[in-house]
Amino acid sequence: MFLQGENILKQYPHNGGFINALDKVSFNVDQGDFVTVTGPSGSGKSTLLLSLFGLIRLSSGTIIFNGKRIDNISDRHLTDIRKKSVGYILQSFALIPYLTTIQNVMIPLALERIPQKEQVKRATEILDYVGLSDRIEHLPRELSAGQQQRVAIARSIVHRPQIIMADEPTGNLDPTLSLEILEFLKKINRENKITIMMVTHSPVAADYGTMKLHLNEGKIVN
Amino acid sequence: MTILKLVFIELWKRKSQLITGLLAITLGIAVIVGIQSVSVVSEQNVARNLDNLGANILVLPQGASIDNYYTSDIDAPTLPMDYVERILTSTIAGVDNMSPKLTRRVKVGGQSVVLTGILPKSEIASKPLWQSSGLLGSELKTACAPSQSTTKSHGLEDEKLKRKAIDTLNTTDCIAGSQVAKLLKLQAGGSINILGKDFKVVKILPETGTIDDDRIFANLKDVQTLLGIENQVSAIEIMGCCNAISEGLLGKLRNILPDTRVTSINQIVSTQIETNQLMKKVTLVMLIIIFFVGGISIGNYIWANVNERKREIGILRMMGAGRSTIYRMFLLKALILGIAGGILGYILGTLAGVILGPYFAGILVKPVYMYLVWSIILSVAISLAGSLFPTYLAAKFDPHSNLQED
Ligand SMILES: Nc1ncnc2c1ncn2[C@@H]1O[C@H](COP(=O)(O)OP(=O)(O)O)[C@@H](O)[C@H]1O
Ligand SMILES: [Mg+2]
């Protein structure tokens, strides 16, 4: 069992009562899947994506990753799993503004205390892979939106994670750039056998999914 | 990439903010280092002067200030020269030697120096330093000097100096202290123009570490004429016998010398020691204030920085940075700030002491290199203490809620 959710409940306090952002969600993801999560705004897509590896703690439910429960483990362990096995891509790119392209990409390696030489080698390779070899020393603000998202993709795969969590990765991009990014994700998924879980509200993007989850008001619908 | 490198890059990219963050702590350290370097020299001087001073009684005009006895005769009001006669012809016992002086600050070669007119024989005779092993001097040390004056006299018993100056200090001759000589590039045998009159420099005194280093000595008569202060002196140093002092020599002198202040050096020195002790208390109070003001200021700066970087903290946590990494990020930054503040504060405070010391305390202040270590330790401690709470809050941030805002 690669990644499994069972009866995932996430409640937010609201007007004295509760809102169920995720309402007993269950799903099953196999290694190598390209999962798309769709649904209207406010249906709980981001909550689902971010709660799986502890960025949001659940109200109840079970999450199993690589055969082990991870919903009830310590913050420290979850942090460790994110560091080693997960890559994140967000709609807003989430690059560190004062670091250059290559420095941003090296951050996950720095967190794993990989030696500087190895960091440079791997980051350079990955930046070549996403076609940014000529933008290595640029700051995020000196890059176009599409280039920034490619830096974010490079950063999400540089530490060879098992799964990439992407929250509307093409939300800030025009259709042409969106396609480019989606093709990249597909390539990463195919060539590197990295599982991808992508939240999107674009039907075009949703078509890339080999497994599709549709959320509505915190519930999975088919 | 390492966390340390990230800290340095961030510091560098926002260096203008750094100045504000460092201001309070730097100034605080500077004030302490400044006060400390002045008062440590002042303390050393008390001990050294006690050791070296030939006289043990000082007769000053009524209006003179004795707050600082090193400079108490400079530019003070004057008293009549006749008083020297009066003491000599009186029946008061116990005055072994006397040295009238007239001291003024004058401009020589564009530099401000202290000119002291002395009556050669008596002046020289009452300075143990200038004699080989002045009988009076060594007796005085064991008999009269307070026990805390343990500083060794500097082994300056230069044979050549022995009494020689007495005979050679004619009118138009002068003797220069070592610092003055350095300042004005004087050499023995050279000449110097003081207030329009040419003097022959007959001797450069070896460094004594006392105020004498900063003075030019000339014949009292010459100095009086040059300054237009005929028959007046600014002080009379008296070498009194210890027993006589305890039997009321000071009071007897007061009786025959109206409008004067007759004080024993011990009295003046104890005033100086009190001043030094007061400075110590002031330093302690400053230390406490600086700890809080500096700590709060740095804490405030770090807190502003934490808030500005909330999103960055969220991103790092998302990528698997633990709380310890967040601690490391901000405490490393505080450490760097502390080191920088300590170094800058030390430099600033030492400069202030060296430049302002001579004006305010009348003493030459030298950099105390050991204070650099203390400055850094103190500054780092303040900086870390001030940053601990904001950093704790930063590490506690919920990664998710800080990811959303843009
Ligand atoms: N921090 C929060 N506090 C309260 N309610 C929240 C919070 N985050 C999300 N929600 C609510 O949870 C629901 C799901 O939000 P989200 O997962 O962001 O939706 P989506 O990503 O599908 O647009 C929404 O109704 C939203 O208002
Ligand atoms: Mg969302």
A119 near B CB under 8 A? yes
For residue B218, what are its two tokens?
Answer: 């000339």
Res. B83: pLDDT tops 50: yes
Q: Mark which of B241, B264, B287 sits at the end of a domain.
A: B264
Residues B23 and B155 in one domain: no
Distance from C-alpha of A79 to C-alpha of B325, rounded to nearest angstrom: 11
Residues B87 and B202 in one domain: yes
Residues B243 and B334 in one domain: no
Highest mean pLDDT range out of A197-206, B159-168, B205-214? A197-206
Which pTM was predicted?
Answer: 0.72
Range 306-365 of B in CB contact (< 8 A) with A: 311-312, 315-323, 325
Residues B294 and B389 in one domain: yes
Residues B255 and B309 in one domain: no
pLDDT band at A93 (very low <50, low <70, confident <90, very high): very high
Is there a contact between B315 and A79 if contact means CB atoms under 8 Å apart? no
Q: pLDDT by residue (tens digit) across A52-71?
A: 999 999 999 999 999 999 99
Residue B231 φ/ψ region, left for φ over 0, alpha for ψ in the -120 to 50 degree band, beta for the rest: left
pLDDT confidence of residue B68: 55
Residues B259 and B353 in one domain: no
Sequence-ordered strand ranges (E) for B180-313? 191-194, 197-204, 215-219, 232-233, 235-240, 260-264
Residues B223 and B102 in one domain: yes
Nearest-atom index, ligand 1, CA of A167:
21
Distance from C-alpha of B251 to C-alpha of B404, rounded to nearest angstrom: 86
pLDDT confidence of residue A157: 96
Residues B174 and B299 in one domain: no
Q: What residue owns the CA closest to ligand 1's atom 6?
A: A12
B228 near A CB under 8 A? no
Count of alpha carbons within 13 Å of B114, Cβ hemisphere only?
A: 25
Query: Count H helices, E strands: chain B?
Result: 15, 11
Q: pLDDT by residue (tens digit) across B230-245?
A: 888 988 888 777 677 7
Residues B69 and B149 in one domain: yes
Decide: A47 in ligand 1 pocket, CB within 6 A. yes
pLDDT confidence of residue B389: 97
Alpha helices in A12-160 (DSSP H): 45-51, 75-85, 101-111, 116-129, 145-157
Count: domains in chain B: 2
Distance from C-alpha of A2 to C-alpha of B85, rounded to nearest angstrom: 111
A90 near B CB under 8 A? yes
Mean pLDDT of A5-31: 95
The answer to the question of residue B48 being in a domain is no
For residue A91, what are its two tokens?
Answer: 């709609």
The answer to the question of residue B49 being in a domain is no
The answer to the question of residue B296 being in a domain is yes
Which DSSP letter does residue B320 get?
A: T
Q: pLDDT by residue (tens digit) across A129-171?
A: 999 999 999 999 999 999 999 999 999 999 999 999 999 999 9
Give this complex's ipTM.
0.96
Q: Mark which of B264, B298, B323 sits at the end of a domain.
A: B264
Residues B98 and B215 in one domain: yes
Res. B373: pLDDT tops 70: yes
Ligand nearest to the CA of A90: 2
The answer to the question of residue B269 being in a domain is no
Nearest-atom index, ligand 1, CA of A45:
22
Q: Is B112 or B334 the better-scoring residue by pLDDT?
A: B334
Q: Which domains can be identified in chain A, with CATH numbers?
A: 3-221 (3.40.50.300)
Residues B184 and B313 in one domain: no
A144 near B CB under 8 A? no
Name the maximum alpha-carbon separation found in chain A. 55
Minimum CA–CA partner of A94 in chain B: B315
Q: Mark which of B239, B264, B289 sits at the end of a domain.
A: B264
Which domain covers residue B161, as residue numbers? 54-264
Report how far apart, in Å, the C-alpha atoms of A94 and of each of A159, B54, B309, B318 are: 17, 78, 12, 10
Q: Which amino acid is residue B34, in one-letter code?
A: G
The answer to the question of residue B47 being in a domain is no
Residues B78 and B198 in one domain: yes
Q: Is B287 or B318 the better-scoring residue by pLDDT?
A: B318
